[in-house]
Every structure is written in structure tokens, then in C-alpha cells.
Amino acid sequence: MTRHDPRRFTTPPDLDDITDLAERALAAIPSRLRRHVAGVGITVEEMADDATLDEMGIESAWDLTGLYHGTPLHLRSVGDVARMPDRIFLYRQPILLEWVEEGEDLYRLVRNVLVHEIAHHFGFSDAEIEAIEGEMDQ
């Protein structure tokens, strides 16, 4: 197995490893979810910054594994001023902490963070998210 194989890492996964897993996971999500994120970028950072934590009302950076930042499609207009492209932020250190604590497959964990961020951003319910994850596990 190579270092980038999602089933086994011989050293702690770095930013590029998490990015690789996220891009694979994004390509594998169901079409009903994927259509919402055409052209979205993925950014992997070590931890969320203080401004993000303040904006989200979160005290500890360890509690935030991911964040979808952007404007939902149904709120966009052709008259909008230019804006930054939508991005999904993944936070490496909190993801790795959860990976170690829970013992879950890292690819599956990264995929679930992506699915949750996308689905919650677009108003999917927890039950709908569970159903999507169940489909992906089959």
C-alpha cells in the first residue's frame, strides 16, 4: 500500500493526504448531493482560525472538522456582485483526532465530513444525511 492509500497510513496524514481523500470522496458522493457543489473548491487547513470560530460561535478549534463557506444556489442571482467561489474547508488536526479516537477508516471519516458540510449547507435533514451515508456504505 502506498502512503496515499486511504486504508493505511504509515505516517500521520498530511494536508495533501487529506486533500486527496477529500477529492476522491467528493467525486464519489451521490449525484443528488454532487449537483449542489459543481465547481466547489476544497481547502484543507490545520485548524480553523479564530475569526471562523468566533463567527460560528465555537470555543475550541478541536470541535470543528469542516465548514462549507458560500452562497446556496437557491439564493444566488444573475444580478449578484462578484463573490469568492464556494469552498469546503476541512480541518486536518480535528479530523485526525477524531480518526484516532474513533478508529474509523480515514477515507470514510473525510467523506462523512464532506457530506455533512454540503448537506447541512443546503438544508438537508439529519435523516437525509444518514440515508446518503448509508447508500455510500453499500
Query: Mind listing the pLDDT tens digit for each residue in 89-114?
Result: 999 999 999 998 988 889 999 999 99
Going by C-beta distance under 8 Å and a sequence separation of 6 or more, which residues neighbour residue 57?
none
Separation CA 91–CA 108 (nearest Å):
15
pTM: 0.82
Count CA atoms closer than 13 A to 99's CA, side-chain side: 23
Neighbours of 73 (CB within 10 A): 12
Task: Kindly list the domain boundaries of the chain, sorted by start residue.
Answer: 15-70+84-132
- Is residue 91 within a helix (H) or strand (E), and if so which, with residue range? strand 87-91
pLDDT at residue number 67 = 94
Instruction: Evaluate whether 93 touches 47 at the Cβ level (below 8 Å).
Output: yes
Question: Check: CATH 3.30.2010.20 for 15-70+84-132?
Answer: yes
Closest CA to 90 of 8, 16, 10, 5: 16
Low-confidence ranges of the chain (pLDDT < 50): 1-6
pLDDT at residue number 109 = 93
